[in-house]
Amino acid sequence: MIKYDFKTFANIDGVNNYKEYFSKIKEKFDNGTGGEIFTDVYKCTSKSVLEKIKKVSKYIRNNCDVFLVIGVGGSYHGSKAVIDMFTNHYKKDIEIIYTGYSMNSSNLSELLDYIKDKNLIVNVISKSGNTLEVNFAFSKVLELMKSKYDSKELRKRIIITTNKKTGKLLSIAKKNNYMKFYIPDVSGRYSCLTPAGLLPICVAGINVDMLISGYIEAKSDIDKCILYATIRHLLYKKGKKIEAFTVYDEKLLSFNDWLKQLFAETQGKKKGGILPISVFNTRDMHSLGQYFTEGEEIVFSTVINIVNNKDIKIKDKSLNKINNIALLSIAKSYNMPSIIINMDKLNEKNIGSLLYFFMVSAAIGGYLMGVNPYNQLGVNSYKRIMKENLNGKYKR
Ligand code: PA5
């Protein structure tokens, strides 16, 4: 169960001014035309694809020491967010390593050294199939894999997740007959519940059926998404230009990264939009906390909290309770509005619901701002300029 508290620490006047807009959006969702605003991404993965994902995941779990996931942006953040929540940080029953999300040479060379003697299976994920970070990392990993395995073995160990039509990755997959999964035509940041996210999530042993059922359940509460989008919009208009996504559990830190991508790429357009940042408390009370209590009044926070966590006692006191008390104390001491989202516990159902809640809220927020929520021309222009420069346009 999830409780959304938009009032205690937010105290928003003016939401009523948006009533007309609110009912227009709601009407669209009620009469089934909400697809204009948000396409149901889970529907993009058919039952048979889901079954294939489960089967392949089982194979992966039984046949490697390291499952390497190569991807960036939407082909990385969604699955990483969910996997980090549900796996023990210190003890792993399968080691899942991510790469291909930067051009950092030292990290890649350390990784290649670490995995050279491991039993490997690789999932390369890229919707376009042409993303530089991903293709660079994959080319080095492939070189290593080719030195370890023959081509028959490679076909059992390389899985390519990309679009159905074009791109470098698709050609490699076809030419070598590697196993393939297809990413439907949705923006990367909305693709967590497509094969781009579901395969790694399933390999980690996470219950994808419950994740999807939580997502579906949240659809009946579209009002919450519209309200949250409206409140954010209103806060933005009142000069709150920064949204601090705040968590009190490290397991949610990668979820914050997913939120940053979702909201920045959806709404950071036409020289406007709320800047999303990630905060981990109470750690960041000892750094950013100073700004949040006495700095410029341009920030609001959205707190995502797990109320009942695995507990530990300090003397006779519950550390989990203390952490919850810290959340309330901080919300009170902050000089900013805070929206609090309390999950009773961390489970797949709640997270499926949160994925829906945030994706739909982001998309509605884009419409409120008058921008297209589904493009990312800024990111595309980085990709283009980088390729031009690599081809020699840039001279020092
Ligand atoms: O949201 C998006 O579409 C982008 O951020 C992409 O996910 C990101 O650029 C990675 O692209 P690709 O999956 O094509 O490698």
> Whole-angstrom Cα distance, residue 338 to residue 322?
19
Please, how many CA atoms are within 13 Å of residue 117, restricted to the half-sphere of its CB?
A: 0
Q: What percent of the chain has pLDDT over 90?
A: 77
**Rounded distance from Cα 135 to ligand 1 centre (Å):** 13
Mean pLDDT across 132-140? 96
Tally of CB atoms within 10 A around 198: 28
Q: At what angle do helices 222-237 and 348-369 cross, to 10 degrees?
A: 50
Catalytic residue selected from 152, 286, 315, 395: 286
Q: Atom of ligand 1 at shortest distance to CA of 383?
A: 9
- The bridge status of strand 158-162 relative to strand 179-182 is parallel
Q: Atom of ligand 1 at shortest distance to CA of 183?
A: 13
Catalytic residue selected from 240, 265, 269, 349: 265
**Rounded distance from Cα 128 to ligand 1 centre (Å):** 7
383 catalytic residue (yes or no): yes
Q: What is the pLDDT of residue 17?
A: 74
Residue whose CA lies nearest to ligand 1 atom number 5 = 73
Structure-block tokens of residue 204 = 């980690």
Nearest Cα neighbor of 218 from 32, 15, 40 is 40
Residue scoring higher pLDDT (202 or 23): 202
Which residues of the chain form beta strands (DSSP E)? 2-5, 66-70, 95-99, 120-125, 158-162, 179-182, 242-247, 275-280, 299-306, 313-314, 317-318, 338-343
Contact 178, 155 (CB under 8 A): yes
Residue whose CA lies nearest to ligand 1 atom number 10 = 73
Mean pLDDT across 46-59? 95
In this predicted structure, the answer to whether residue 207 has a pLDDT above a threshold of 70 is yes
Mean pLDDT across 299-320? 94
**Rounded distance from Cα 75 to ligand 1 centre (Å):** 6
Return the SS3 of 391: coil
**Rounded distance from Cα 191 to ligand 1 centre (Å):** 10
Ranges 41-45, 177-181, 324-328, 370-374: which has the least confidence: 41-45
Catalytic residue selected from 54, 118, 180, 383: 383
Domains defined along the chain, listed by start: 2-33+212-377 (3.40.50.10490), 37-206 (3.40.50.10490)
Q: What is the pLDDT of residue 36?
A: 79
**Rounded distance from Cα 19 to ligand 1 centre (Å):** 35
52 catalytic residue (yes or no): no
In this predicted structure, the answer to whether residue 381 has a pLDDT above a threshold of 90 is no
Q: pLDDT tens, 352-374?
A: 999 999 999 999 999 888 888 88
In this predicted structure, the answer to whether residue 378 has a pLDDT above a threshold of 80 is yes
Structure-block tokens of residue 307 = 């109320």
Q: pLDDT tens, 81-109?
A: 999 999 998 988 899 999 999 999 999 99
Residue scoring higher pLDDT (80 or 44): 80
Contact 248, 327 (CB under 8 A): yes
Q: pLDDT tens, 262-274?
A: 999 999 999 999 9
The ligand 1 site (C-beta within 6 Å) comprises 72-75, 126-128, 131, 134, 187-189, 265, 376, 379
Residue whose CA lies nearest to ligand 1 atom number 2 = 188
Structure-block tokens of residue 186 = 């949705």
In this predicted structure, the answer to whether residue 396 has a pLDDT above a threshold of 60 is no
Return the SS3 of 341: strand
**Rounded distance from Cα 9 to ligand 1 centre (Å):** 35
Pocket test for ligand 1, best of 39, 70, 72, 185 (most atoms within 8 A of CB): 72
Q: Atom of ligand 1 at shortest distance to CA of 74?
A: 7
DSSP codes of every residue in 135-184: HHHHHHHHHHHHHHS-HHHHHHHEEEEE-SS-SHHHHHHHHHT-EEEE--
Q: What is the pLDDT of residue 15?
A: 75
Q: pLDDT tens, 215-229?
A: 999 998 998 999 999
DSSP for residue 309:
P
How distant, in Å, are the alpha carbons of 23, 41, 349 from that of 234? 16, 28, 30
Q: What is the pLDDT of residue 10?
A: 80
Residue 77's contacts (CB-CB under 8 Å, 6 or more residues apart) are: 189, 192, 254, 257, 258, 261
Return the SS3 of 36: helix
140 catalytic residue (yes or no): no
Q: What is the pLDDT of residue 211?
A: 96
Q: What is the pLDDT of residue 386?
A: 84
Q: Atom of ligand 1 at shortest distance to CA of 71?
A: 15
Q: What is the mean pLDDT of the chain?
A: 93
Q: What percent of the chain has pLDDT over 70?
A: 99
Q: What is the pLDDT of residue 347?
A: 97
Residue whose CA lies nearest to ligand 1 atom number 1 = 188
**Rounded distance from Cα 169 to ligand 1 centre (Å):** 14
